Amino acid sequence: MKRSVILLYGVVSYLLFFVTFLYSIGFVGNLWVPRSIDSEPTVALGTALLVNLGLLTMFAVQHSGMARPAFKRWLTRYIPAAAERSTYVLFSTIAMAALMYYWAPMGGVIWAVQSDWATFTLNALYLGSWALLLYATFLINHFDLFGLRQVWLSFRKQENHELKFVTPTLYRIVRHPIYVGWLGIFWFTPVMTVTHVLLALGVTGYILVGIKLEERDLEQAHPEYAQYKRKVPALIPAFGRRLEPTPESSAA
């Protein structure tokens, strides 16, 4: 595959991701988009439940399975290594778009805040969680995480050195600020419906399992991660036990 084609593939994959990312802000938050998580139900409750559970399973299997080292080794037998991360991003985008497109609203209100200030606060925390997620990706190299760095280095005929494991700012008080952002995205809402709580519970379960799988891989790739894991909590920030940066520390 030509280097220019790999670069174009990476850029297009990223742009598709970013458009889907922006739409998902409106979809989950019931903001701005024509069809969201809490649109009017159109199918029977049992059918909607089965469809949504299937979509969550599909997303979890794709998102976690393609991230495993064994799958990456298999995939790069058929595509250039420089395109592997962009392929992951592309398929993750397709899975997220399919989840939003086929998601079946179920109705049913679990809680609904009444005051304007509470609504404003929860919406602000919701949007702030998206900002936290995006900010955390830039702390550890946003462009590597989404495949742009790899395709650019390939285009420039430069070797892709594995990034060191570093612990910048947020990563010194919590191991997974990106997942903290995801949890806030799905739980901070002024109106919690049955549909919404199903998605929130599904994503929370995926995150808890995903952390186990991801950290197993990180400990194998970075021997220093075991010590980092002992000192820094996974999801609840510990400001009083902030990890001090060292020249040897590394990031994920």
- Report if residue 104 sits inside a domain: yes
* Helix (H/G/I), strand (E/B), else coil: 192: strand
Look at the block and give the residue holding tokens 């008080």: 173
pLDDT tier at 107, thresholds 50, 70, 90: confident
Mean pLDDT of the chain: 92
What mean pLDDT comes out for the span 127-139?
Answer: 97
Q: How confident is the model at residue 153 (pLDDT cuts 50, 70, 90)?
A: very high
Structural domain including 231 reads: 3-236
- Is 150 within 8 Å of 11 (Cβ atoms)? no
Mean pLDDT (whole number) for 31-39: 92
134: Cα separation from own chain's centroid: 10
Phi, psi of 156 (to 5 degrees): -85, 0
CA angle 131, 132, 136 (to 5 degrees): 120
Please indicate, yes or no, if residue 189 is contained in any of the structural domains: yes
* 241 found inside a domain: no
Answer yes or no: is 148 within a domain: yes
Q: Please check whether residue 245 lies inside any domain of the structure.
A: no
For residue 170, tell me if it sits in a domain.
yes
Q: What is the pLDDT of residue 240?
A: 63
Per-residue pLDDT of 228-240, as tens digits, reads 999 999 999 887 6
Residue 148, φ and ψ in degrees, nearest 5? -70, -40
* 228 domain residue, yes or no: yes
Residue 48 lies in a domain: yes
Report pTM: 0.90
pLDDT in tens, 54-91: 999 999 999 999 999 999 999 999 999 999 999 999 99
Structural domains of the chain, count: 1
Is 109's pLDDT higher than 90?
Answer: yes
